[in-house]
Chain A
Amino acid sequence: MRRKKFIRSITLAGAALQPFFAKSMIPYKQTGIQDDLLQNKPITSKPPYLKAGDTIGITAPAGYILPEEILPAVTEMKSWGLQCKIGATIGQRDFTFAGTDEQRVADLQAMLDDDQVQAIMCARGGYGLIRIIDRLDFSKFIKKPKWLIGFSDITVLHNHVYQNFKMASIHSKMCNSFPDVFAQADSQQQETILSIRDALFGAKINYAIPFNVRNKLGKAEGPLIGGNFKTLESLYGSKSSLVPDQALLFLEDTGEYLYSIDRMFWNLKRSGRLENLAGLILGGFKIKPDDAGEEFGKTLEDIVLEKMKEYNYPVCFDFPVGHQKNNFALKHGIKHLLTVSDNNCSLIEAV
């Protein structure tokens, strides 16, 4: 706590003190104004939860998607009592993108500003948000916030609205993960889809986490932030950058080599982002197999735990989040309690 207050006093004291502190300052904090914004606004804002009759807008701010690919999501969300407004980017294509940067900005901007839209679900991830994030105007959104929903590339959006406006959002599956026929889907698929509904309608998050023998035990409370690891790394140095002090950081990734995951953890550590965490949550990591002769020789658990030696906060593996069927909705930016013990691992939204 003393350290935290110390850092705060530096920020408040302003530029006059900076030369004196320049050497001891944590590098990642040098970049942005977001720290000041965060400190002036200690509690995350929550957009209003949805009620029957509300409208959910569907837009594709990154990769391209066909109109028929979002139909299962539309059908399912209608069964929740919601209306769907389909954005112009659905079915639009510019190579890998769902339209040009200008077209994707225009669609998401229209959704952000539309009073008739109470939440925005990104149809899919892929790649593209970082190209447009600085062109979006959030002034209306800040006054009338709405839930932003998605994961993977959408990590950009979650972190941007959290770091700049301390706004909560929903990290979850997107339209492209809804089963074609909901009733025929397996129970895990159904549960994960329904977890989006529950989060949107205001149910408290309460997830049991499978036990992993390599967990580091403990209890911690803090805002839950994070997302796709590689995407988070692409934000470092920018004004959407991850500042995870006192937070429960969750990470997932797909298609990365073990060495690349190791390198990303070194970046987290060397930039001072690991030392003041409240807790660390590892979701699914679909690891790209090592090339022959280049075997890395460490598991994900090895890679994580060797960076954790000097820290005492809890660490849990196998959390059900990531590029996998077992990907439950999370409320990004909202305070949660993480419990990691031998017989009970859970993530519960704080009251």
Chain B
Amino acid sequence: MIKIPPYLKPSQTIGIVCPAGSMPLSKIENCIHQLQAWGFQVNCGKTLGKRSSYFSGNDEERCTDLQLMLDDPDIHAILCARGGYGVSRIIDNLNFARFKKYPKWLIGYSDITVLHAHVFRNFHIASLHAPMAGAFNDVNGAAYVATIHKALTGEKMVYTYTSSISNKTGIAEGALVGGNLSLLTHLLATPSTMNLKNKILFLEDIDEYIYHIDRMLVQLKRSNLLAQLAGLIIGSFSGMKDTKLPFGKSVEEIIKEHVAGYSYPVCFDFPVGHTHANVALKHGVLHSLEVKKYAVKLVEIRG
């Protein structure tokens, strides 16, 4: 059974850290103000605005900052300010002993996929795949950012949307897991790999060559991770690049090809990924997915 961290009450505290890439404080201000406007207190970690070449501090500094947040009983959720790259370098140095006893919401996406997968695989704890600090600066993103507040305060998540691409219809029920495709394949065979059997898997990616997307899907397939899904949700694959000789297929066509032999529903265009259309998803939590040709409904199931 999945453990769901306690939902947040007004005046509880959200810690903000940068466990991966560096981010200037000025770009986190809107996020801080909005969290406060929602009635939360904000605790800024030492890694905010810090920089050690690419990273927001060296491995020890990033690890220590996140560790303090994990262990601090006065912090009720942890929002990662940005992704980039870096959680893989520190994940095995984090001590989750206290977090296991007193889970709290971990919030983020992209490189933070490592964190979501790791706590789901090892501790069966739910987390929040959601926009990060940068999204609070995007005027088009307000409605999506607002879903973080809904999720954290315990609203039952219901998402309906219309896809522009025809879906593979069907209904499914299962724990909702996933994230960035490159990171998920990068985690294969490590102690953070998730078992995807009977799961509703969601995928997104950015700035990859189309043939890389194909190769990663073949890899998932050859690792027997695609065959036993309950359902598949395809988010945005933004900034895709092609080779000089074009690959000849779109990401959607590639996915349709690889799931052709499976009977589970597959929906496209889901608002998750590296664009402003990125809703908060309760990672690890049971959901139902209803996919019609163009209409999609994802609903959290309450126990």
Contacts and interface: CB of A to CB of B under 8 A. Distances in A.
Interface of A: 27-28, 31, 63-64, 94-96, 127, 130-131, 134, 233-241, 259, 262-264, 266-267, 270-271, 290, 294-298
B92 interface: yes
Interface stretch (B66-74, B188-196, B261-269, B271-279): B188-196
A297 B57 CA distance: 12
Given A263-B85, A297-B52, A96 B219 contact: no
Contact of B219 (A64, A236, A264, A298): A236
A271 B89 contact: no
B248 A27 contact: no
Given A63-B245, A264-B186, 8 more contacts: A28-B189, A131-B218, A234-B218, A238-B223, A263-B85, A270-B191, A295-B54, A296-B54
A236 B89 contact: no
Nearest to A95: B248
Counting from the closest, the 4 A-B pairs by CB-CB distance are A297-B53, A95-B248, A237-B223, A238-B222
B88 interface: yes
Contacts of A95: 245-249
Interface stretch (B35-43, B123-131, B156-164, B208-216): B208-216
B185 interface: yes
Given A95-B245, A96-B245, A27 B219 contact: no
Contacts of B259: none
Contact of B216 (A31, A234, A263, A295): A234
Interface string B205-241: 0000001001110111011010000000000000000
Interface string B13-42: 000000001000000000000000000000
A27 B190 contact: yes
A234 B190 CA distance: 14
Contacts of A94: 248
23 contacts: A31-B189, A64-B245, A94-B248, A95-B246, A95-B247, A96-B247, A233-B185, A234-B185, A234-B215, A234-B216, A234-B218, A236-B185, A236-B223, A237-B188, A237-B189, A237-B220, A237-B222, A238-B223, A241-B189, A267-B188, A270-B92, A270-B190, A271-B189
Q: Count chain A CB atoms within 10 A of each CB in B52, B91, B225, B248 and give the residue with the most.
A: B248
A262 B53 CA distance: 14
A237 B196 CA distance: 13
Contacts of B55: 297
B246 A27 contact: no
B295 interface: no
Contact of B88 (A134, A238, A263): A263
Interface of B: 21, 52-55, 84-85, 88-89, 91-92, 185-193, 211, 214-216, 218-220, 222-223, 225, 243, 245-249
Contacts of A238: 219, 222-223
Contacts of A267: 88, 186-190
B186 A263 contact: yes
Given A94-B248, A234-B218, A31 B223 contact: yes
Contact of B192 (A134, A237, A240, A270): A270
Contacts of A271: 188-190
B225 to A, nearest CB: 7
Nearest to B243: A96
Nearest to A131: B218
Q: Count chain B CB atoms within 10 A of each CB in A95, A96, A234 and give the residue with the most.
A: A96
Given A234-B185, A235-B219, A263-B186, A127 B85 contact: no
A270 B190 CA distance: 5
Q: Count chain A CB atoms within 10 A of each CB in B52, B55, B219, B243 and give the residue with the most.
A: B219
Given A27-B190, A270-B190, A295-B54, A259 B215 contact: no
